[in-house]
């Protein structure tokens, strides 16, 4: 690693450490956990609910639509929590071999602290909503364990960006939507502000790493990232959520996957991160899988 790259990393670390000192939250006090949930108030924008615009949606009562919005945002938070735990394991591996006197790995440790708080916040929120634990099923749960202990370098940072930025797009919309539950708006605001630093950290490191990859390495990291992206977006809304409003989970998932509105929401959630990944060369030959996931057109 040349001196210029070392200096670039150090500047990034110092800048983000300073930002963390100025703008960090304690969800124990920043979220009013004792406030009652509001009646007849959506938990996420109804136009982002997976069945919006379908015949099944038209058959739901207003109360059922709100209920489905609650379970879908609980699913997003559960899957987000699952990936946060994976991310923390990857960050621990990342700093293990680095000189912790440097600001760059020190910020990785700071991010670990942020992610720990976020994980507790999401877990408490799902419990507050009285929803099930919607983490992915056993097979993907075990695959996540393997991913956490093996993936590194470019595909690690690119996968982190996918997971963080697709949910960030939704949460940015939610934090400004006064028609939603105050609880989910507050959680979205906290996560957006703190994840902005994490996204910058990962984007800058990925931009440094990709040009150094040989072609076979680049293709491997592209493949790993595309698989991770497909699995993340495809599992954000677990099929079990439909049971909460009396819809068979298999039917609900089938209708949602064919729903043009839901497909467009996926592309909307992913358009910022996919544009960046395409720009730095991390999509390339794997575009068909990104298209299958409805993350690119």
pLDDT digits (tens, 9 = 90+) for 72-82: 999 999 999 99
The CA-atom distances, in angstroms, between 103 and each of 154, 248, 277 are: 20, 51, 25
Inform me whether the pLDDT recorded for 4 exceeds 90: no
With tokens 């068909």, the residue in question is 288
> 239, 132 in Cβ contact below 8 A?
no
pLDDT tens sequence across 121-150:
999 999 999 999 999 999 999 999 999 999
> 189, 178 in Cβ contact below 8 A?
no
Q: Within a 10 A sphere around the Cβ of 260, how many other Cβ atoms? A: 10
User: Average pLDDT of 82-100?
Assistant: 95
Inform me whether the pLDDT recorded for 294 exceeds 90: yes
Inform me whether the pLDDT recorded for 1 exceeds 80: no
Distance between CA atoms of residues 172 and 148, nearest Å: 27
User: Average pLDDT of 228-237?
Assistant: 97
pLDDT value, residue 269: 98
Distance between CA atoms of residues 240 and 249, nearest Å: 5
pLDDT tens sequence across 197-224:
999 999 999 999 999 999 999 999 999 9
* Percent of residues, the chain, with pLDDT higher than 70: 100
User: Average pLDDT of 31-59?
Assistant: 98
DSSP for residue 36: P
pLDDT value, residue 5: 82
Nearest partner of 148 among 92, 222, 69, judged by Cα: 92
Beta carbons within 8 Å of 150's beta carbon, 6+ residues apart: none
Which domains, ranges and CATH numbers included, belong to the chain? 60-292 (1.10.620.20)
pLDDT value, residue 2: 73
Three-class secondary structure of residue 60 per DSSP: coil
Distance between CA atoms of residues 224 and 88, nearest Å: 18
**Mean pLDDT score across all residues of the chain:** 97
Distance between CA atoms of residues 209 and 174, nearest Å: 33
Task: Say what the pTM is.
Answer: 0.96
Inform me whether the pLDDT recorded for 58 exceeds 80: yes
pLDDT value, residue 205: 97
């Amino acid at each position: 690693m040349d001196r210029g790259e070392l200096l670039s990393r150090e500047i990034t670390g110092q800048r983000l450490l300073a930002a963390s000192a100025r703008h960090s939250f304690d969800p124990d006090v920043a979220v009013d956990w004792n406030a009652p949930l509001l009646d007849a108030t959506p938990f996420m924008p109804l136009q982002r609910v997976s069945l919006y615009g379908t015949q099944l949606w038209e058959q739901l009562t207003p109360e059922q639509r709100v209920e489905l919005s609650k379970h879908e945002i609980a699913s997003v938070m559960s899957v987000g929590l699952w990936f946060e735990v994976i991310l923390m394991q990857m960050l621990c591996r990342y700093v293990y071999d680095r000189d912790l006197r440097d600001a760059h790995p020190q910020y990785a440790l700071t991010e670990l602290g942020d992610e720990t708080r976020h994980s507790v916040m999401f877990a408490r929120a799902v419990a507050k909503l009285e929803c099930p634990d919607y983490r992915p099923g056993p097979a993907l749960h075990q695959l996540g364990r393997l991913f956490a202990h093996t993936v590194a370098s470019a595909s690690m940072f690119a996968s982190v960006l996918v997971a963080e930025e697709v949910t960030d797009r939704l949460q940015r919309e939610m934090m400004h939507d006064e028609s939603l539950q105050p609880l989910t708006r507050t959680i979205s605001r906290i996560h957006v502000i703190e994840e902005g630093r994490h996204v910058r950290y990962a984007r800058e490191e990925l931009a440094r790493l990709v040009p150094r990859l040989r072609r076979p390495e680049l293709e491997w990291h592209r493949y790993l990232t595309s698989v991770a992206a497909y699995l993340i977006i495809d599992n954000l809304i677990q099929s079990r959520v439909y049971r909460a409003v009396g819809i068979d989970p298999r039917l609900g998932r089938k209708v949602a996957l064919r729903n043009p509105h839901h497909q467009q929401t996926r592309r909307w959630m992913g358009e910022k991160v996919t544009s960046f990944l395409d720009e730095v060369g991390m999509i390339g030959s794997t575009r068909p899988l990104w298209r299958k996931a409805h993350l690119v057109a």
